[in-house]
Amino acid sequence: MHEVQEKKEKKPIILSGIQPTGIFTLGNYIGAIRNWVQLQEDYDTAYMIADLHALTVRQDPKVLRENILRAYAVILACGVDPEKSLTFIQSQVPEHAQLSWILSCNTQFGELSRMTQFKDKSAKHADNINAGLFTYPSLMAADILLYQADLVPVGADQSQHLELTRDIATRFNGLYGNTFKLPQGYYPKVGARVMSLADPTKKMSKSDENQNAFITILDEPGTIVKKFKRAVTDSEMSVRYAEGKDGINNLMSIYSSVTGLTYEQIEHDFAGKGYGDFKQAVGEAVAEELRPVRENYKRLREDKAYLEACYRAGAEKASHVARRTLQKVYKKCGLIL
C-alpha cells in the first residue's frame, strides 16, 4: 500500500484474518491462505494474525506466543508478501482495540446474543463465557472497518459476523455521517470447504482429536500420503463425484484444487483404478504442493531477525492506515485524539 500507487490506481481493498490457534490445516491453506496469495496481485491486501480474537478462549501464554510467530511465518511461507500486502499481528496495531471499544458502544446486546458462534462457543466453554467472547464481532468489525475494506474473504462460519459489521457500519454512518465503507463477503468458488479425512461430513479441523482426520500445512510428505491412504471413503470402488460419496467427493475436490484438473478429467484418469491408487495420487499431489511452504517455513523460522523486522514494519504500516480512520471516528464521536 504505497502512498503514490494508492493515488494513481485505486484498487479495491481486501482484508482478512486468521486466528493463531494451533497449526494450520490443508483446509486453511486451500480455503484461505492460498487465495490470499493470489489476491495480492489484483487488490490492495491486508492480512493479519488475529491474536486478540484468540484470547476469547483461555490460552497458555507460552503456547500462544509460539503460535502467533508460527502463524505469521506460515503465511509468509505460503507466499503472502509483506512488500505487497499489509502483513501484521493484530495486537501490535493498537487502533484495533481502540476502535473496537467505540463499535461495542454502537452494537446492541440483542445483536450479539443472536450470533451463532457465540452460542456455540459459550456452550463449548461453559466455564469461561467472558465479555470478550460476547463482543468478539465488534472487534472483528473494527479489523475490517479500520482499513475501509471493500471485500472480506471469510468462510461461511464468519458470514454472520460480516453481516453484523455492515449493520454496525450502517448505524454509525447514519448517526455520525459517512465514515465507514460497507464491506462485502468474498467467497472463493473452488475448494472452499475441505472436509475431515476421518468423517467427510464434517469440516477438517485442527482441533480434531483424531490426528488422521486432518493434514497440517507442515506435515512431512510421508505423513501426508499415509493420512490420505487412511481416508474414509465408501465401498463402491469407483472414482466419481456423486451424492452420498462424501469421502471421494472431498478427495476429488482437494485433488482438483491442487492440480487444477476438472472432475471429468480426474474421473477419466482414474477410470478402472482402485481407491488405493487415487489416494496415493492425492497424497503425493498435496505433499508436492506443500513442499515449498514447508521449506520456506523452515528457513523463515531460523531467521528470527528477518521475521521480526517483517512484523514490526507490518504493524507500523498498518497503524498508519488504521489511524486515519480512527482519527475520523474520534472526531465524529466528540473524542480528542
Contact residues toward ligand TRP (CB under 6 A) are: 15-19, 50, 53, 140, 143-144, 152, 154, 158
Q: Which residues contact 82 (CB under 8 A, 6 or more apart)?
A: 76, 310, 313, 314
332 is catalytic: no
Sequence-separated contacts (24+) of 264-272 with Cβ below 8 Å: 266/239, 267/239, 267/240, 267/241, 270/239, 271/239
> How many Å apart are CA 149 and CA 180, to the nearest integer?
9
Closest distance of CB 325 from ligand TRP, Å? 14
Closest distance of CB 138 from ligand TRP, Å? 11
DSSP assignment of 148-207 equals T-SEEE--GGGHHHHHHHHHHHHHHHHHHSS--PPPEEE--SSS--PBPSS-TTSB--TT
Point out the catalytic residue in the list 11, 181, 206, 332. Answer: 206
Cβ closer to ligand TRP: 139 or 281? 139
Cβ closer to ligand TRP: 146 or 231? 146
Cell numbers for 234, please give them. Answer: 465408501
10 is catalytic: no
Closest distance of CB 195 from ligand TRP, Å? 17
% helix, strand, coil for the chain, step of 5: 60, 10, 35
Cβ closer to ligand TRP: 86 or 144? 144
Containing H/E element for 291? helix 275-302
Closest distance of CB 214 from ligand TRP, Å? 16
For residue 250, give the nearest of 273, 226, 234 by alpha carbon: 234
Closest distance of CB 116 from ligand TRP, Å? 13
Phi-psi region of 260 (alpha: psi -120 to 50; beta: other; left: phi over 0): left
Closest distance of CB 267 from ligand TRP, Å? 33
119 is catalytic: no
Point out the catalytic residue in the list 121, 245, 279, 317. Answer: 121
Cβ closer to ligand TRP: 18 or 231? 18
The separation between the first and the last C-alpha atoms of the chain, rounded to the nearest angstrom, is: 24
DSSP assignment of 202-215 equals SB--TT-S-GGG--
For residue 191, give the nearest of 126, 140, 263, 128 by alpha carbon: 263
Cβ(227)–Cβ(283) below 8 Å: yes
Q: Which residues contact 92 (CB under 8 A, 6 or more apart)?
A: 311, 312, 315
Closest distance of CB 314 from ligand TRP, Å? 15
Residues in the chain: 337
Cβ closer to ligand TRP: 170 or 262? 170
- Residues with a catalytic annotation lie at 121, 203, 206
